[in-house]
Structure 1
């Protein structure tokens, strides 16, 4: 099926449409990477180095994709990654949650077929955890170590009360804002001064302007999930960010304490070294996310898919291992699963979908992922994602870019 006005065939097409619709600064905030963008680029390029070993004839008539992540059943091995303030669409994370809860997979043989998956929600989100949990029952709430132990725990417990099923703690960030190509200007808040500053960008994007005008609101740059308990005093994104980077850095003892206090499924996000994966196991984590923060942490770090095999070997028989970074198609997901991941997290891909077509665009991206996984399973002769192994891939000797296993 070729792309149409209301549907796109690839994530690359979603990105092109997002670029056409969004003001320049908003779009560049979505594609940003630290410093030279070495890691950002490698996150995508590394998948191209992996080849498949396909089979022909006696192929399975049906392919199974269901799995579970952090205690939640999902229809296919793709989970929405938590991302910060989403000013790309007026409904923000609520639209994403509805798409994750039930997306039409554009199956010409079964137009009513839908799939659903879990959603990670950032503590820096533009919509509250209560709003998101009201439309989706499989939300994983993500926290940064911002403020005191009590501050972090209060956010987590608020999320649990709202219905969040698991907690994600993100630990990878060096607070480097440098971009060799220049960081996009982002206002502290959308006041008259900011509107005047960004008016030249916005007036050239009439669809974006109209979408927001219909709501009677301006893009919300506050973080409601960071409000102190019992108040509506939500800080701006930069206020929340400032609290984060001025807080004392957490220890593994802090992580173990939070895991015990939370008392449920618990993921540590940002793992790129087997030693850290082992420490996460020792801290009681249920899962780890192999992630370099989408290329926004320490530039020069290899792609997360390169680090995945060693981490899966180290802890994959003890906890769930997820991969996050560079996933643009279903075939990428199959490669990650073949290397030991239980599922993949996607970030930019669904944000481009939302920018291109709102909630329907997010569903479109999830449909692309689902169908791409199914096609790769068929080509490999696998009846289930659980049959995948490294034997299904052609892996260059230098792929891991490490002298150590």
Structure 2
């Protein structure tokens, strides 16, 4: 099991969980986690793996697939490759390293404001309320995993609040349930400090009279319960939508696995060979070479197979036999044959195999193979 990362700068001080109000917030957060864990059902290994990857990136927003895979292996005992990390990045729509960094920076800012709110600072809570509703990406798009990552970031930055081992329970929650747990975390702070309520309702003597609600307080309590019910209904709908997305993702994975098998060495890299045959035939026809009539049937079959691949939206990632200038970072996404890279230099390579991608979902089926061109 991974040890908690302790290299963060927490702004100088840890949260003192022995302070009554902070402890009450933590207790309320734990109660919310217990409720969410019951609703979450069985968690998949895929969700746990994603959460652990998110937790690792919380310590360094610039980590690439290879380094993430290495840390997953050393800290959690996985046997992951950079390819598998790339696939997870793609499935979670964070393959772009710049957007990934934006996402985790946003979560980092949310975590810092959350700490201030836990200390009872109303201005920090108000900024938190504003920021958490904003899209994490500069493109203006709200990322599917941003609330889940924000919750994980809070536990990574302030592990002292995890007195009930809720962090590991959080790792079991997918995007939807984790999102509503994050909302509950914010609500826990609001309820303890009476944020967003009128000043006259913040008075200690009134807050202590829990069994003597005024008419106005009773109305507000009913409104809170109605809000909770509405949120629960929304969460159930979101869970249904997430379930349908998972079913669709399963179908897409089956399609990708089929084409990956076609292009495996076991079956002679059929997709690559189709490109080679088509290129060769086109070259012969351009040179006015008359192909033997006996192979017409074979050529028709090749043409139909190529059309089938295209209709399935499977496309090559690179042009076969092309020459490219690549860096060490570029090579992370390829199978590379050649001498080691110096960190700041590029090399000329020839594309041996183009690599294949399911274009509709930006899902990689096989990696390009490149070979160093020696001068």
Higher helix residue share:
2
Say which structure, 1 or 2, has more relative contact order (CA 8 Å, 6+ apart): 1
Same fold, TM-score > 0.5, yes or no: no
Which bin holds the TM-score, normalised by the shorter protein? Answer: under 0.3
Please state which structure has a larger fraction of its residues in strand.
1
Query: TM-score, structure 2 length as denominator?
Result: 0.23
